[in-house]
Amino acid sequence: MMKPKITASEDIKEATKLGTYERLRPGGASAKVAAKVEGTIKQEELKLALYDAKGNQSKTKGDVSVLGDVKLSKEIEITVSPKQQTKLGEELTVKSENKEIDDSAITNRFAIASYPQNWDLPSAKNSLVDDDEAIMEVSDAYESDGVPNDYSWLDEVMISEQVQGGAPVGPLTVGPGDNSDYLDGDSPGSDSHTRISYGSIDKNKLKPDKDGTRYDGHITQTCIFKCGRTDVKDKVVPNSGYELTDSLERVKGRWKFWFTKIGKSVTANGYHSGAGKGNHTSDAYEVVTTTPDLTFKKWV
């Protein structure tokens, strides 16, 4: 005699699929899926739980509940409320705890993991080193999409900064940009944007132009991440896009130089992301052309 069986009518999912299986956010909105009941099951026998790929009941915390009266209908609704992240590489499914019911997986496989999102630049600090190196150091911040938002959810996430340089504009060399290695996602740091007078500006192209002459060179930046829990890699951090601009303008017979970093929907090295938060402008500097190598000094 065949045991009664429960089969999901659709994939259980709550967030965008990024790997070989679905991902649910820890503490996030519950994921709901319709299921069909084959055979006769008493309502009190409907006890479902999370199981791993080996068929063992998972120790990962999460509630599984059922809505629907099997006496009246063969359609039920299964709700999974994820509360804790899965272990590295762990895949879960919903199965019956009752041995009188078929022990096949009821749902598709899924993991519970938090990903980074919504980049921000809360503050910036400017400095001038040895008259030829201008630095703007911005502090990085972002969110976890787990609930509540907390960096501790990202303990198995690593993040890489992707930077794409632009073409030279007038005397501005702009440059190719540097990408970072993958760095720990649960400890945000800072990002230093350095402009060197003799490297960022071509002295041979710096002419005594008329006032109002201006050049703007652009660089784009986004971030990507990988997750040890779900094995996804090189996925874009949502809303991590920025545009960095070098600006050079002729003002009262002098060259004024500064740079900005603003949130903008951009693509860098093929990775597109929406705009991040936080806009910052560096101090302004005068480009001194009378020295053998160009130098900077504070604009006054």
pLDDT in tens, 163-219: 998 889 999 998 777 888 999 999 999 998 889 888 889 998 998 889 999 999 999
> Using CA atoms in the order 95, 98, 102, 106, what is the torsion angle rounded to 10 degrees?
-20
- C-alpha 83/C-alpha 62 separation (Å) is 5
Could you identify the residue written with the tokens 């899965």?
Answer: 86
Task: Tell me how many degrees the CA angle 194-196-199 measures, rounded to the nearest 5.
Answer: 125
Query: d(Cα 135, Cα 190) in Å, to the nearest integer?
Result: 12
pLDDT of residue 231: 86
Do the Cβ atoms of 224 and 159 come closer than 8 Å? Answer: yes
Across the range 75-89, mean pLDDT stands at 90
**What percent of the chain has a predicted confidence (pLDDT) above 90?**
61
Beta strands at 110-112 and 22-24: parallel, antiparallel or unpaired: parallel
Q: What is the dihedral of CA 246, 249, 254, 255, to 10 degrees?
A: 20
CB distance 40 to 88 below 8 Å? no
Q: Is the pLDDT of residue 16 over 70?
A: no
